[in-house]
Amino acid sequence: MMKMPARVVGEEKVKLKKSFIKPWMGIKYLFKKPVTIKIPYEKIEPAPKYRGFHTLDWKKCVGCNFCGQICPARAIEMTWIEVNGHIATRPHPKVDYGRCTFCQFCVDVCPTGALGFSENYYLTTGGLEEDLELYDWVPIHPDKVRELNEKFNDYRFPVERIKFNKETREVTYYLRDGSTIQFKILGYGLRPPKPPAKPAAKPAEKKEGPKAEEKKE
């Protein structure tokens, strides 16, 4: 196979116009207000109907997975949960913000209006590994998010910390107003999780009656 020679424009062909003024033109930006803001110390008002973090009414959600099917980023995982000892009869969506593009297709397709979105857009952490739990959550009720927004008025993520116990699979949301939401994750997918297998019964020990003793003799 014949190799084509790579074509590179010679430096001599690049026209450089020397200018005395251009290097000094950047000085004007020293006197302009920065366009960036200092998160988390400053905030900007989101546009009306800004598509921020999700909200979910757990009672309205029927577990149809329309949201999971339409999600172009595959950010939704249907999750079986247990609240106060009651196992939910349908799974609910869990959103992975490492993948979500905030397109809100999931909200548009939700037939019951269970899934919604808030105007909240701030999510900053201290960079600890446990903070990663905040980026993968089953959203909470819109009324609670509204209440927190009215109290803090800063568009931050409504939960400060999420603790997930890998052994017991218990999840605790520590909300910004000091309250908590607790539930248990039983499994993922559309089918209900299988109940944990019971430990195998020990084989019954053979009782040695008087007849067995006679045989021995």
- Joined together, the tokens standing for residue 198 give 């019971």
Bridge partners, 121 (sequence order)? none
CB crowding 37-55: b at 16 or more within 10 Å, else e? eeeeeeeeeeeeeebbbbb
- What 3-state DSSP class applies to 115? strand
Instruction: Report 176-205 residues binding ligand SF4 (CB under 6 A).
Output: none
- Which parts of 138-177 interact with ligand SF4 (CB under 6 A)? none
- 50 vs 174 by CB, closer to ligand SF4: 50
By CB under 6 A, tell whether 115 contacts ligand SF4. Answer: yes
In terms of residues, how long is the chain?
217
Prior bond of 40 cis (ω within 30°): yes
Q: Measured in Å, how far apart are the chain's first and last C-alpha atoms?
A: 93
Q: Which of 43, 50, 104, 134 binds ligand SF4 (CB under 6 A)?
A: 104
Considering only 9-17, 69-77, 165-173, 209-217, which stretch makes contact with ligand SF4 by CB under 6 A? 69-77
Looking at residues 82 to 101 of the shown chain, list those that interact with ligand SF4 (rule: CB under 6 A). Answer: 93, 95, 100-101
Q: How far apart are CA 120 and CA 78, in angstroms?
A: 23
The nearer residue to ligand SF4, 113 or 179, going by C-beta atoms, is 113
73 binds ligand SF4 (CB under 6 A): yes
- Give the footprint of ligand SF4 on this chain (CB under 6 A): 61-67, 70-71, 73, 75-76, 93, 95, 100-106, 110, 112, 114-115
